[in-house]
Amino acid sequence: MNEKWREIASEIKAIYGNKDYVALHEPTFNEKEIEYVTDCIKTGWVSSVGKYVNEFEKKLAEYTGVKRAVAVVNGTAALHIALKVAGVKENDEVFMPALTFVATANAASYLNAIPHFVDVSEKTLGLDPVKLKEHIHDIGEFKNGQLINKLTGRIIRAVVPMHTFGHSVDLDPLIDICQQYNLILVEDAAESLGSYYKGKHTGGFGVVSALSFNGNKIMTTGGGGAILTNNEKLADYAKHITTTAKIPHQWEYYHDEIGYNYRMPNINAALGYAQLEKMDDFLASKRQLTKQYHQLLKKINGVKVFKENSFEMSNYWLQAILIDPQKHERDNVLGILNAEGVMARPIWSPLSELAPYMHCPKADLTMTNHLNKIVINIPSTPVKGESYD
């Protein structure tokens, strides 16, 4: 079986032009990025003021189908501010999946709120609405229009589903739960730019949502993120506090509350503006890569490529494979692929097992613990095509 995995590594390298080393995900640039970034440098507008910031926000809102987008320095900052403007307060509990990148929990912690970990679904790899409802039934009490955790006495304020590797959570039942228990829906859409749930772009369902444009995302601004919302008032507030809460004035510096220096620099927005123009190419290439992996990995018994559900269209940001632990040992597979020059990694450690979050409330995490042992990410960079070579 080890030899079979070495063959797979060789064939993955062939997909990527027989490189000596294939990274998990790399950005793809061409002349447009150079043109727009060079324009920033020539004009001197490289920081948080400049035409590309506003234009990128408009183009992003249009692409995702929301009224407003507010560009910030990274996805964690976007989620931090999304939770803040949505109304999450100190000592509130926030439902979130235990199987997600640590930023989901960190963003809540920045507000002195408490992550409350819930299990995920094998169907979506994201927060499981059925398990969430069962957990609420076990620990929740609805009093005076608020959901209270009977075990801690704290208000449970919000639900933060994360669209894992670009695959949408099943949102309709989550929305029903939020309406039933007066919970705020804040989408962690950091990985799902270009993904749709029942024909509507992810990030458009929450009161507010967060995107990431890190260098490894489907499109990048180098570092960066954005807050999405259909609420103009929340968008204005988000823009204000991410610009150090400075009151606009020709020369005076006056700040009316504690703010954050989170605004995206113009030079990063220029990069994003060019990248957004190529999203259709990126998405088509991602889907083609999924088909290639599906054909390739059929050769190994006990391995399957994770594929989108009927209710969604995934951006397939990171390719995920699920291995049968009775037939394959995860760390052995990871060792072979990486030794052969094909970067592969396991899914994140459950947040409930990380030192800063071991004390946090949690539901039964059976599926989280199962998936943690069987999910592997493999190279996912869009294979270059003629339209953006």
Please, what are the domains in the chain?
2-27+279-388 (3.90.1150.10), 31-276 (3.40.640.10)
Positive or negative torsion for Cα 81, 87, 88, 94: negative
The pLDDT tens digits along the chain (389 residues) read 799 999 999 999 999 999 999 999 999 998 999 999 999 898 887 887 779 999 999 999 999 999 999 999 999 999 999 999 999 999 999 999 999 999 999 999 999 999 999 999 999 999 999 999 999 999 999 999 999 999 999 999 999 999 999 999 999 999 999 999 999 999 999 999 999 999 999 999 999 999 999 999 999 999 999 999 999 999 999 999 999 999 999 899 999 999 999 999 999 999 999 999 999 999 999 999 999 999 999 989 999 999 999 999 999 999 999 999 999 999 999 999 999 999 999 999 999 999 999 999 999 999 999 999 999 999 999 986 433 33
pLDDT tens for 40-57 read: 898 887 887 779 999 999
Q: How far apart are CA 347 and CA 350, in angstroms?
A: 9
129-139 vs 171-181: helix axis angle to the nearest 10? 20
Beta carbons within 8 Å of 308's beta carbon, 6+ residues apart? 167, 314, 316
* pLDDT reported for residue 368: 98
Q: Which residue bears the tokens 């990431």?
A: 212
* pLDDT reported for residue 117: 98
* pLDDT reported for residue 384: 65
* pLDDT reported for residue 101: 98
* pLDDT reported for residue 386: 39
* pLDDT reported for residue 387: 38
Q: How far apart are CA 159 and CA 96, in angstroms?
A: 6
CA distances from 1 to 8, 75, 301 (A): 11, 39, 10
* pLDDT reported for residue 47: 80
Beta carbons within 8 Å of 251's beta carbon, 6+ residues apart? none
CB 107 within 8 A of CB 80: yes
Q: How far apart are CA 226 and CA 160, in angstroms?
A: 16
Q: How far apart are CA 372 and CA 180, in angstroms?
A: 31
pLDDT tens for 321-360 read: 999 999 999 999 999 999 999 999 999 999 999 999 999 9
* pLDDT reported for residue 43: 86
2-15 vs 330-339: helix axis angle to the nearest 10? 50
* pLDDT reported for residue 380: 97
